[in-house]
Amino acid sequence: MLDEPRLLAANPWVTRRPITVVEYHRMGEVGILGKRDRVELIEGELVAMSPIGSYHQGTVNQLTHSLVQSIGEHAVVSVQGPVRLDDFSEPEPNFALLKPRPDFYRAAHPGPSDVLLLIEVADTSLNYDRAVKRALYARHAIPELWIVDLNAGEVEIRRQPDAAAIRRSRASTGTASSSRTCCPGSASRPRHCFAERTTMPDTTVTEIKPLSRVEMAARVARDIPEGWYVNLGIGIPTAIADHVPLDREVIFHSENGVLGMGPAPPKDKIDPWLINAGKQYVTLRQGGSFCHHADSFSMIRGGHLDLCVLGAFQVAENGDIANWATSENDTAPAVGGAMDLAAGAKRLWVLMEHTTKDGAPKLVQRCSYPLTAVGAVKRVYTNLAALDVTDRGFVVIDMAPGLTFDALQARTDAPLHRSA
């Protein structure tokens, strides 16, 4: 009853009727759900919660003791209590640090604005907590999330759960300790707050800082050899031209008829007639030229480009790419020149974020969006890693500082392989 049947999961045309929080509570009141039914309501569906082992429960007991001692009167420590995020979601995190309230939330369950910090203790539920719970909390602007990874002995800390920066603490012992200071979100919060000072003895802390979009573009520019003819797709790829050294000759091409495109100009040097295919102002390098739109596509279809770098919504482990949309809200709807570029360029690289804003992986086993090209992608650069697309699938070339292979795999749908 509580787990979604595989038959329905395999049929996307089946319309599901979501359960509201009010109906969820009513199911408990009339006995449809009993005390032994360990479930939580996530986006209108009942999700079975993992059984709690002794080590998991012992960690919860230990953290309860430490949190209550450290927090004092600065917050309410709720253990395995519900948090009503909206009319269709009421998860039960292992811990919620809540803003103080005289009634201790007897009148109603806390909502997103009441939360200072959520903590999920995970072993078998780790991937679910990272992908589903984190995205859910981010969507409701929960200010801080900890995921305690019991398998790796790590604590993953996110301030704003969808934020790029991740703080991870690796513990060599299982004894938690907390320095006494004020709690997250309080008016007197010091620079080094409770969340930064609650650690484990003998702990080494490394910062996982995914690359910014500028750093992503610079990373790709570093790998483009001298003398290549390169087309840059709309979006993040257009910034690559800004990071190629002036003493390296890379000839950038734009579909609208520019060959020898240079970096973006200073604001006081803009030529309003000189733009790229994304309608952004560019410059022209020495020896650059203009041509008709048809001639520009003849270069693409004739196989004269050494490389094309595109953005994408998804890339599959076999090199399939999905990067076009038809939504009315999109600034560049439909396929555009991407299918010509994917088919005509000698090599296709992709530059994109590793996950969606909701935390869903964009490197997948099979694309679920309409394909732009089949088996065309040779390399992918994201804010977390650079990967080659091979006969084995995705092979990791390098990763963002502080990121482990297992952590990267947890954010990727397709299996990853280490480089030889």
Q: Does residue 79 surpass a pLDDT of 90?
A: yes
Count CB-CB contacts under 10 A for residue 31: 7
Q: How many angstroms separate the CA atoms of 116 and 142, rounded? A: 7
Which is more confidently placed, 284 or 325?
284
What does the block give as tokens for 137?
């909390």
Q: Are residues 56 and 42 in the same domain?
A: no
Q: Are residues 73 and 13 in the same domain?
A: no
Q: Does residue 264 surpass a pLDDT of 90?
A: no
Task: Among 49, 70, 87, give the residue marking a domain's end.
Answer: 49
Q: Are residues 41 and 75 in the same domain?
A: no
Q: Does residue 294 surpass a pLDDT of 80?
A: yes
CB 378 within 8 A of CB 159: no
Q: Does residue 202 surpass a pLDDT of 60?
A: no
Environment class of 151 (CB within 10 Å of its CB; exposed 0-12, middle 13-18, buried 19+): exposed
Task: Among 28, 49, 70, give the residue marking a domain's end.
Answer: 49
Q: Are residues 235 and 370 in the same domain?
A: yes
pLDDT at 194: 40
Q: Is 255 one of the annotated active-site residues of the chain?
A: yes
pLDDT at 338: 85
Q: Does residue 360 surpass a pLDDT of 70?
A: yes
pLDDT at 322: 93
- Count Cβ neighbours within 10 Å for each residue of 160-189 and write b for 16 or more, e otherwise: ebbeeebbbbbbeeeebebeebbbbbbeeb
Q: Which of 59-68, 119-128, 283-292, 377-386 has the highest mean pLDDT?
A: 377-386
Q: Are residues 361 and 305 in the same domain?
A: yes
Task: Among 179, 208, 237, give the residue marking a domain's end.
Answer: 208
Q: Are residues 122 and 195 in the same domain?
A: yes
* Annotated catalytic residue, options 40, 120, 156, 255: 255
pLDDT at 270: 93
Specify the DSSP class assigned to residue 336. T
Q: Are residues 180 and 316 in the same domain?
A: no
Q: Does residue 285 surpass a pLDDT of 80?
A: yes
Q: Are residues 186 and 231 in the same domain?
A: no
Portion of the chain with pLDDT greater than 90, in percent = 50
* Average pLDDT value for the chain: 83
pLDDT at 174: 42
Comparing 50-64, 168-182, 303-317, the range with the smallest average pLDDT is: 168-182
Which residue in this structure is represented by tokens 């679920």? 368
pLDDT at 222: 94
CB 202 within 8 A of CB 171: yes
Comparing 1-10, 107-116, 158-167, the range with the smallest average pLDDT is: 1-10
Q: Which domain holds residue 158?
A: 51-208
Tens-digit pLDDT profile for residues 203-215: 344 556 789 999 9
Give, in degrees to the nearest 5, the angle at Cα 48 between 42 and 51: 135
pLDDT at 213: 92
pLDDT at 153: 77
Q: How many angstroms separate the CA atoms of 39 and 229, rounded? A: 56
Tens-digit pLDDT profile for residues 128-153: 888 889 889 988 999 999 999 887 77
Which is more confidently placed, 191 or 384?
384
Q: Does residue 400 surpass a pLDDT of 50?
A: yes
How would residue 326 be classed by pLDDT, with cut points 50, 70 and 90?
A: low
Number of domains making up the chain:
3
Q: Does residue 161 surpass a pLDDT of 70?
A: no
pLDDT at 35: 78
Q: Are residues 193 and 232 in the same domain?
A: no
SS3 for 135?
Answer: helix
172: domain CATH number is 3.90.1570
Q: What is the dihedral of CA 89, 92, 94, 98, to 10 degrees?
A: 70
Q: Are residues 251 and 382 in the same domain?
A: yes
pLDDT at 178: 39
pLDDT at 209: 78
DSSP structure string for 181-213 = -PPTT-TT--SS-HHHHEE-TTEEEEEE-PPPH
pLDDT at 393: 96
Q: Which of 49-58, 299-308, 406-415 has the highest mean pLDDT?
A: 299-308
pLDDT at 166: 55
Q: Which of 158-162, 244-248, 316-320, 337-341 has the highest mean pLDDT?
A: 316-320
Q: Are residues 326 and 361 in the same domain?
A: yes
pTM strictly above 0.85: no
Q: Is the dihedral of CA 61, 65, 71, 72 positive or negative?
A: positive
Of 340, 339, 337, 387, nearest to 362 by C-alpha is: 387
Q: Are residues 358 and 217 in the same domain?
A: yes
